[in-house]
Structure 1
Amino acid sequence: MKSGQIIDERYEIIRLIGSGGMANVYLAYDPILERDVAIKFLRLGDNNQSDAVRRFEREALSISELNDPNIVAVYDIGEDTHGKFIVMEYVDGVDLKEYIRENHPIPLHKIQNIMLQIVSGMQSAHELNIIHRDLKPQNIMIKDDGTVIIMDFGIAVVSTETSITQTNTIIGSVHYLSPEQARGSLATSQSDIYSLGIVLFEMITGRVPFDAESAVSIALKHFQDPLPDMEQYREDVNQPLMNVVKRATAKEASDRYESCQEMYDDLATIFAEDRQSEPDFVPMGAQSDTIVVAKDQIEQKMRYTDEHQAMAAGKDDDLSDNLEDADSVATQTTPIPVVAAADNDQSPEDKVEQASHKGVKVGPTAAQKKQRRKRLLMILLPIFLLLAIVSAVVFGRGQQIDVPDLAGMTVKEAERVLQEEDLTLGEVEEVFSEDVGAGFVVGTNPEANHSVRKESKIDLEVSKGPELFKVEDYTNQAYADVEKSLRDAGFTVEQSRDYSDNIAAGHIISQDIAAGEEVVAKDTTITLTVSEGVQQFTMPDLRGMNRSGVQQWADSYGVQVSFSEESSDSAPAGTAISQSIAPGDSFVMGDSLSVVMSTGPATTSFDKEITIPYEENKSEASSSSSDEGDGDENSDEDSSSSRESSRSRQTPNEIEVYIQDEVNDYSTPVDTFTISKDRKYTLNFTVRKGDSARYKIVRDGEVIQETQVSE
């Protein structure tokens, strides 16, 4: 999964921040709520896939029901092409394990504050019947503001789901494992309280209380060895705080706190003045009577043990194989028997035996002796078998040490573990790893669980992350060749197709990952756009379209169009007559096209000259005649003067000329003017060949001429 990748069409991956046995955790950004989130993706291996899925789903179910400031918040649960995922609160801080290493010794008041937050969060979980089962400092985060967040409910279980935890199965981290879990019993809320007590012990002392060379040995110590004295590691620890640890880590669950709330109330008052002189807490289980065994009988059983040591050593190997490393155990193991305290109601035979040890001479019968030996053997046999196993581990190995499993640790963490195991850090080699995050141990040389001598050097292989693939420029290359090469490198290759004027068909036009970018091939999908060559189109029939319609079509297809004109008896003027690319033929963008436009039918033109007569105003002419008839001596002179005056008073005629031909219609005059005398006028006609035209002359609103003419 690469930076910038979008999950569920919402969350943008920023970087990998953690990698575990069953999941990878990424820092991501939620653009809707504008906040950073942590996304845990289930990572399935080749085996136990259904179990891993069940645990992953159980974690999502468990913490989605919780709403507590000290428990990591769940925002979303989903599944996409990359698998199942949980979107959680991103906790920016340091885990408690690292905090202890960097700040030891932690002030007692600070320890109290941190522990109160942890216990409070677990009380909320227990109220919903959710048992964490893997409480350890590595699963507890401390933010910069001091808030404590409990993480990783990956093996949490609802306490009523008895089917999830199988008999004789240990699930959890062995350094923090309760005695009942080590025996294979069902984990309860008091099992979590035991783990909290171990975490509190480590916060106080800077170390875990029980440690050994193998997980088996550590598990034995949890229900067999007393808790180490905290005062030998730290002098300032007070009795109330030690009592909280002792009560939380009591071997028997009945001696522990019944609830986290009870532990919280006790822890909250450890500095109260009235508690500073309280006595040391002694569990009720530690107050039971001790079985008294005769020395000769012990020696007899020890001889029996020596004879079967080799057999027991073999059993230890089988048992060790059934446990994982000391940090995380989830395997099958044989329940380890617990020896009950002696019954105070002694039988007569027991009283005889006890009296004999006190020096009282009592003569038991043969049947009593036989019964006594049988009962004693029944009690001691499991103990001696256990001692045989431990002896085989401790004495059989001598100075040999098993190389610890350091996979997934930082170099600093691995070096500390090696020092604790009396081993030395050797060479550190950086290697590429697809599964382990950068900076974490991939493996060791010698390998984990291989026996070596003390002080041996252990070389580390440290991941520098997956090997990055540098993307090249694939444009103009054959798709088939590039696609095979990328798939061989681990890419998921997808393609889209498009036309191209300059990239040959089958070659790559573009790619969605830029050349030079470095990516993890197996987590990357690259999309290549492949050319289908130059796009071809089918020419339509443009005849009958007007000029603007032809131009619009040509622009939409990128065709360069030119026009010419011809007359046509069949095509109306202004419409396309013919085209240079015939209808149905193929063309491509950029092609040239010639279109002939019609000017209409073929026509001929001719002229006709006419005379338009002037007409005097009738009323004026009449008045003038009347004046000429008057007789007097000056009539001739007056008549001449009158005619001159009449001419000066002539009114012009309004003339309208109408023509009907191929160009003009009869509804609108082609010319208008006035005349004050007769006028010659030339008419212009355009007609189809063989056709005629006509005209009319209107004078002062009266048609004076209307004639049909031809060429």
Structure 2
Amino acid sequence: MDTTTADPLVGRLLDGRYRIESRIARGGMATVYLALDIRLDRTVALKVMHRSLAEDPAFVRRFIGEAKSVASLSHPNVVHVFDQGTDNDVVYLSMEYVPGRTLRDILRERGRLPAREALEIMIPVLAALGAAHQAGMVHRDVKPENVLMTDDGRVKVVDFGLARAIEATNQTRTGVMIGTIGYMSPEQVTTGGADVRSDVYAAGIMLFELVTGQQPYDGETPMSVAYRHVHDTVPLPSSFVPEVPPLVDTLVAHATARDPQDRPADATAMLVAAVDAHRMLPRMTNPAMTQSQPHTGTPSAAASMPQAAPMHTLIQPRAETPPQQQKRGFRPNWFLVALAAVMVVAIGLTGWFFSQTEYIAVPSLVGKNLAVAEKNATALGFTVKKADGQYSEKVGEGLVLRSDPAAQTEVEKGSTITLVPSLGPKRVIVPDVAGMTGNAARVAISADGLTVGSVKRLANLEVERDKVIRTSPQAGEKVKEGAKVDILVSAGMVMPDVTGMPKDEAAGYLGGQGFQVQVNEVDDDAEPCTVIAQAPKAKSEVDKGTPAQITVARCQTDFWDWFRGDNQARDDQQFGLVPAVIGKDVKDAKAELEALGFTVRVQRLGNRGVVQYQRPLPNSERPQGSTVYLWQ
């Protein structure tokens, strides 16, 4: 299916200048289109921001400023920015069109790259970042997706300044970290701040991925990956791929130091180190190709030759033995005779040695008590060594989890067996995050190896708004590693629903809750002196002391005139007295009223379960079937 045909921007002329031809790619923040600049008659790439960003004034202001800065950055390895503009609901960036693929596409296709080739990609990337750093700019989102490889082999870096513009949006005010978590430096995770050394860290992670084919950290959640960036040291690439040279290990370790002070000062400093490493790496040549032969991109004559051609068997006639050699007698080579005799003796001694060695099978010790297993192995002649314990969900604490060598392995009698005891199931104590903000609680829970479950808000006057009330399971409980922990966050004060309540009761209740109450009376068909509207709306989160306005049906109306007109009382209509149920359990009150023939409607003010107010008031006379309102 051609997705461009359904795209409303394809075919549109933006700003009277850019005719959009087709859609190239779509990302999390923007969509990239191929367009024709009809004013200059040149092909450009248009990056159109998603609507959620374009509607944010703070983003648009920052975006325009960053676009101007990036446009002034002229470097052969930076995608050049031509223009920036807005066209009604569209915010766009006009850039140099670079036909080719992203470095991410190449990694997906090829996996890891040889160290020398990886450095040949990183060097122009670092040159581009270095130029930006010298100009006072920080990229903030260095990753393979933002590195373009042109069809003719050039390397271009894109999206300078976009992350900084997004920092001005409402997304970051709700605690969203800007950047890609796999490449984010420790200081970006902990403080949200970034400088040139943050770009150096991301470049080090990218070099790691180029030579190993994977990122150093993985996890079930982005927060667990972020935690490892903060608390772990990036492993050496050679620990994943042994053939990675030590020079590359050193370069990655320096760039990804957790303390920014221990990294290269900026991308230019890392560039110098990368060039030195590239110079000292041995050149890898292919012996099957002539070095002087240029790569043309088409099959060479040798490559296109049938493989059987050079494989012919050369047959020569057997040479005749010279006559003088035929006449000579046999002369033994005494050196070879002596060597053969030594080998015979050696083989005999070896056989004798192995015939004297007793072999025995390692017994099955897994699942046994450690002390019992040690006693059994010692009785069979083994030497026992105890290793550090390991956690296990299947083997109980104090039992043998694993033996090395494994059971039934044939070893010499007297060999050493290493026993690994089980520490039992690993349990994690739920941290106490009460009083923290929701985001801080998430980090603390993830840092302890647990998973954040649902986050719910609840009205609570005792705990400050947006702070954690409690967790489930509660703080201090021991749970399985990775278990979900739900968070309950205070919504502070929630505007109660007083609609339909008598005026005096509504005003008194709201005043008692800390609201500044204003009452407006209007002409209305509703029951006189009852609330028909309120502001703020019911159930909205508000701060203590917030002004509250209630609108009531005018009280001067003669109640009985309203009652008779509203109910159109008939002579044969049955009336009854509404009993007083204030202070009673809501369920009991409801049952009592319904037994008298009234319809009951319950409205919630709090969680007490007890009737606080009622309408009609106690001992009022009402027809059977009338509605009685209860507030609990």
Same fold, TM exceeding 0.5? no
TM bucket normalised to smaller: 0.3 to 0.5
Q: Rg: which structure is higher?
A: 1
**TM-score, structure 1 normalization:** 0.39
